[in-house]
Amino acid sequence: MDTDRIVGAAKDYAGKAESAIGDMAGDSKTQASGKAREAAGTVQNLYGQAKDAVRDAADTATSYAKDAYDNSGDTFRDGTQALSKRVQDNPLGALLVAGGVGFALALLMSRPARRPPPRWRY
């Protein structure tokens, strides 16, 4: 819990008390000062809540990244084994897929460059 939340809540309650005292005494200056202190406390409390939310999100993202890094070798190994099994079960299909990918890459790499239209001089 952030210290801004604690200080903001304290200012909020102090402002409410000061505003109530101003209401009872009929002093508009004290009442306005209490409302201002209450608003400042609310803003500081919200700021502390936002800082806590960002800190929690960063911690969660860090833990997800650490888990993904720790399990990445296992995931890659499992994917490689699944692909190897698929190729062993259906070698003709794997050969056709590899040929299709190679053909598509060859088409993409062998396209002529675009040239601007010729300028005719008279």
Give pLDDT tens digits along the chain (122 positions): 778 888 888 888 888 888 888 888 888 888 888 888 888 888 988 888 888 888 889 988 898 888 877 877 777 778 888 888 888 999 898 899 999 999 999 988 887 777 777 777 66
For residues 32 and 14, give the distance between their C-alpha atoms in angstroms, rounded to a whole number. Answer: 13
User: Number of helices and strands (H, E) in the chain?
Assistant: 3, 0
Residue 49 lies in a domain: yes
Residue 24 lies in a domain: yes
- Contact criterion met (CB below 8 Å) for 34 and 17: yes
Give residue 32's domain range.
3-109
> Which pTM value belongs to this model?
0.51
The single-letter code of the amino acid at 81 is: Q
Query: What total number of domains does the chain contain?
Result: 1
Residue 99 lies in a domain: yes
Residue 18 lies in a domain: yes
- Contact criterion met (CB below 8 Å) for 48 and 10: no
Residue 103 lies in a domain: yes
